[in-house]
Amino acid sequence: MASDGLNTALGPIHLRSPLVAASGTVGSVWEWSEVADVEVYGAAVAKSVAPVAWPGRPAPRLAPTGPGMLNGIGIQNPGIETWVETMRPLLGQLAVPVWGSAVGANPEEFGLVAKGLVTAGIEVVEINLSCPNLEDGRMFALDADRSREVVEAVVASGDVIVGAKLSPNAEQIVAVAEACLAGGADFLTLTNTALGFGINVEDRRPLLSCGVGGYSGPGLKPLSLRCVYEVAAAIPGAPIIGCGGVTTGRDVIEYLLAGASAVGLGTVHFAEPRAGARILSELKSEMRRLGVRDVAELIGAVKPW
């Protein structure tokens, strides 16, 4: 269980711990909750869901590479109606707030999914603007105007707290972040995976059946941190979940210093489903060592040269 000094505010949301389980790495949350210490997390984000079921890409769709992993799952999901039926009875039984994640091909589809998530009892919806392997290959998060349109559609869909999940591939990340906040987003998640590619030299085929996929894990950390740092510097006080390559309590502190108010854990769950408890305990001992009593003292406290 998180304790004093670990509470954090993410826009209108109060989190008991700065750790957030990242979408797509803890399933629907339910299965994972059977093995993980979910109470050490402030929230857990369920796998992205679309208006209708998507089968996802054929295998291989996960491949370790260097200090990280490539994935090209293709947002396999049951579609919003089935998701609501399955998850509605389960949400209240979990010892962690569950957030939804919406994906779609256009703003209307995102809005439709968000509406469904709300009917299931979801209070916070993260908008996946940054999936690198949708069928038509388009990524909303590379375009400020398109991102804003999606955020506006989700905001209009109902009484819900909205987060926009962006891509480390957006060179103009500040412009996209500003557009999402102007469209009504309550917080930003920085970031999703980065576009990546790998080849098996034995059979000369790409590591993933879809070719280019999403790169995550430790190698992603400097790229996602760049986004957090630039956005926090340009938009002081912007509520940010930093996400990308976190494996230790020290990584969490780095994201907080860069300007994040909460920190996502993703790929680390594949090798270590109970990583949250270890990382929270490391965070506490690092805070003690550094003489920090409250995470709020760390947020955005990076110093200039």
Q: How far is the CB of 76 from ligand FMN (least distance, A)?
A: 9
- Measured from the CB atom, is 5 or 56 closer to ligand FMN? 56
Task: Choose among 218, 160, 220: nearest CA to 192.
Answer: 220
Chain positions contacting ligand FMN, by CB under 6 A:
22-25, 47-48, 69, 71, 73, 75, 101, 128, 165, 192-193, 216-217, 220, 243-246, 264-268
Q: Compute the residue count for the chain.
A: 305
Encoded tokens for 126: 């993260």
For residue 67, the tally of other CB atoms under 10 A from its CB is 12
What CA–CA distances, in Å, run from 293 to 44, 243, 252, 253, 258? Answer: 25, 23, 15, 13, 18
Closer by beta carbon to ligand FMN, 5 or else 270: 270
Q: Least separation, in Å, of the C-beta of 274 and ligand FMN?
A: 15
d(CA 203, CA 253): 41
- Compare residues 23 and 169 and give the one whose CB is closer to ligand FMN: 23
242/300 with CB nearer ligand FMN: 242
Whether residue 131 lies in the annotated active site = yes
Q: What is the DSSP letter of 303?
A: P
Between 99 and 115, name the residue whose CB sits nearer to ligand FMN. 99
Give the count of beta carbons closer than 10 Å to the beta carbon of residue 142: 18
| Cα distance between residue 263 and residue 243, in whole Å | 6
For ligand FMN, the closer of residues 6 and 125 by Cβ is: 125
CB of 71 to ligand FMN, least distance (A): 4
Ramachandran angles phi, psi of 93, nearest 5°: -90, -5
Question: Least separation, in Å, of the C-beta of 267 and ligand FMN?
Answer: 3
CB of 122 to ligand FMN, least distance (A): 15
Amino acid at the residue 95? A
Least distance in angstroms from the C-beta of 244 to ligand FMN:
5
Q: Which of 131, 180, 227, 243 is flagged as catalytic?
A: 131
DSSP output for 94-162? SSS-EEEEE--SSHHHHHHHHHHHHHTT--EEEEE---TT-TT---GGG-HHHHHHHHHHHHHTSS-EE
Task: Tell me the catalytic residues.
Answer: 131
